[in-house]
Amino acid sequence: MIKKFLAVLMVSIFFCSTAFAIMINGAGATFPYPIYMKWNKVFSQQSGIKVNYQGIGSGGGQRQFIAGITDFGGSDAPMTDAQIQKAGGDVLHIPTVMGAVAVSYNLAGVSNLKLDGDAVVDIFMGKIKKWDDPSITVLNPGVSLPAKDILVVHRSDGSGTTSIFTTYLAKVSLKWASQVGKGKAVSWPAGIGGKGNFGVAGQIKANSGAIGYVELSYAIKNNLPVVSLKNKSGMFIKPSLDSTSAAASGAMQSKKLMKMVNAGDFRLNLTNAPGSGSYPIVGMTWLLVHKNMKGSSKGAALVKYIKWALSDGQKYAPELLYAPLPKSVRRKVLNVVDTIKL
């Protein structure tokens, strides 16, 4: 009986392995995982093309893509030129959506904390140790801050969120840039680590006096208060979809970024963007694909998916707390996608 059952099962497995056609596999950043999952579901229903994406982290997304194990990668941190060489030299960074990294805290009675870049740097460097430090109180007139110790919470794993956050810190502070640096994982001068956005949010929630950074959606889903950060124009801005979009359009004013966009390089740094309504810690997330997909049976399907994600797919972003790409950028990206060799 059992043997027969097994035999039937085996035969059906081998039969099925030829019956299904295209499955595109991708892996990488966890930050866009919820929106990619939504896209993949809707897209597979509309087109019959199955795109499988798994959130394993940006570093892993790059490694598995370089090794040729996945058809495309997902990353919140751009690949370096050396990595691109290793992947065959023909890697396109396709931006899909944007998001904000919120600085979140746990301080009873304080719901509208304001900080500037220097204060954030000093807190995460461990230089500011108490909540009633003059450099914090001066930014928060009228707010009574307790003489409590500050507990810094950061990521313990490699992460695109960390990359965006440290890119911002390195941009506003030479001290941070030279002593700590920026990247998916850095050697933190202070604080405790949490695994994933989830771990950081959990530790902030559990510890009174804690401060940490998480993606906006995690702060909102966990009802954590978020810091209003002083932007380039001197305004204190809360992270939100609007302030994220404002940051993107602000950043596009920059000649350097426009030049990159026109040259088809979308590894844009959106942190500390100009504009009065811009939130300063904003980043984009990319799909990593090969420019040359000749001979790959999946190339056409993958291009179709990318085009869909950049057009119809964008409308699903806001409900999941991602900011859609600015139209101007989207157009340029689609032009570049058209140059993919099939």
Partner 1 sequence: MKNKGDVWFKRITFLFASSIPFLLFILVFILLQKSLPAIVEFGPGFVFGTVWDPLADKFSALPFIYGTMISSLIALAIAVPLGMGCAIYLSEVSQSKFKEYIAVMVELLAAIPSVVYGLWGIFVLGPWLVKIIPGMTYGTCMLTGGVILAIMILPTITAISREVFQAVPYNLRESAMALGATKWECFKLAIFGPATSGIIGAIILGLGRALGETMAVTMVIGNRPKISASLFAPAYTLASVIANEFAEATSDLNLSALIELALILLVITILINGVARLLVWKTTLKYNPR
Partner 2 sequence: MENNTQIQSKVRRIKEQIFLIAVFLCAVIAVIPLFSVIGYVFVKGIGAIDFNFFTQLPAPVGETGGGMGNAVVGTFILVVLSCLLGLPIGIFGGIWLAQFGGGKRGFMIRYAADVLSSIPSIVIGIFAYVLIVTTMKRFSAIAGGFALGIIMIPTVTRTTEEMIKMIPRSLYEAGLALGIPEWRVTLSIVFRTAWNGVFTGIMLSVSRIMGETAPLLFTAFNSMYWNFSIDQPMSSMTVQIYNYAISPFAEWHAKAWAGSLTLVALVLGITLLVRKFSKRVRYG
Q: Which residues bind partner 2 (CB under 8 A)?
A: 6, 9-10, 12-14, 16-20, 23, 25, 27, 34, 37-38, 40-41, 44, 50, 52-55, 67-70, 195-199, 201, 218, 221-222, 319-320
* Chosen from partner 2, partner 1, none, partner binding at 238 (C-beta under 5 to 8 Å by type): none
Residues 6+ apart with CB under 8 A from 119: 128, 135, 136, 139
Cβ atoms < 10 Å from Cβ of 80? 11
Q: How many angstroms separate the CA atoms of 82 and 322, rounded?
A: 30
CB atoms within 10 A of CB 97: 26
Q: Indicate which of partner 2, partner 1, none lies near residue 319 (CB less than 5 to 8 Å, by partner kind).
A: partner 2
Q: Closest separation between CB of residue 197 and partner 1, Å?
A: 14
Out of partner 1, partner 2, none, what residue 157 binds, judged by CB under 5 to 8 A for its kind, is partner 1
184 binds, among partner 2, partner 1, none (CB under 5 to 8 A by kind): partner 1
Q: Which is nearer to partner 2, 19 or 82 (CB)?
A: 19
Residue 292 DSSP code: B
Segment (H or E) for 283: strand 282-290
User: At closest approach, how far in Å is the CB of 119 from partner 2?
Assistant: 27
Report the interface residues with partner 1, using CB under 8 A: 27, 56-57, 59-60, 62-64, 156-158, 181, 183-187, 192-195, 199, 202-203, 206-207
Task: Compute the least distance from the CB of residue 124 to partner 1, in Å.
Answer: 15
Nearest distance from C-beta of residue 1 to partner 1, angstroms: 25
CA-angle at 332, arms to 326 and 334, nearest 5°: 100
> Among residues 187 and 223, whose Cβ is nearest to partner 1?
187
When the beta carbons of 47 and 208 are compared against partner 1, the nearer one is 208
Instruction: Using the minimum distance from each CB to partner 2, give the nearer residue, 39 or 176.
Output: 39
Nearer to partner 2, 68 or 181 (CB): 68
Residue 16 interacting entry, from partner 2, partner 1, none, C-beta within 5 to 8 Å by type: partner 2
Q: Tell me the H-state helices in the chain.
A: 2-19, 33-47, 58-66, 81-86, 117-125, 134-137, 160-172, 174-179, 196-206, 216-221, 241-251, 255-262, 299-310, 327-338
Sequence-distant (6+) residues with CB within 8 A of 301 are 22, 24, 49
Q: Cβ of residue 342: shortest distance to partner 2, in angstroms?
A: 20
CA 36-37-43 angle, 5° bins: 80
- The nearest distance, CB 257 to partner 1, in angstroms, is 25
Residue 221 touches which of partner 1, partner 2, none (Cβ within 5-8 Å per kind): partner 2
Considering the complex, what minimum distance in angstroms separates the CB of residue 20 from partner 2? 6
Instruction: Return the number of the residue (196 or 275) whose C-beta is nearest partner 2.
Output: 196
The three-state DSSP-derived secondary structure of 139-159 is CCCCCCCCCCECEEEEECCCC
| Identity of the residue, 194 or 275, whose beta carbon is nearer to partner 2 in the bound complex | 194
Provide the residue type at 133 as one letter: D
Residue 143, binding choice from partner 2, partner 1, none, Cβ under 5 to 8 Å by partner class = none
Task: Give Cα separations from 151 to 118, 258, 264 (angstroms).
Answer: 17, 40, 42
Task: Identify whether the C-beta of residue 247 lies closer than 8 Å to the C-beta of residue 278.
Answer: yes
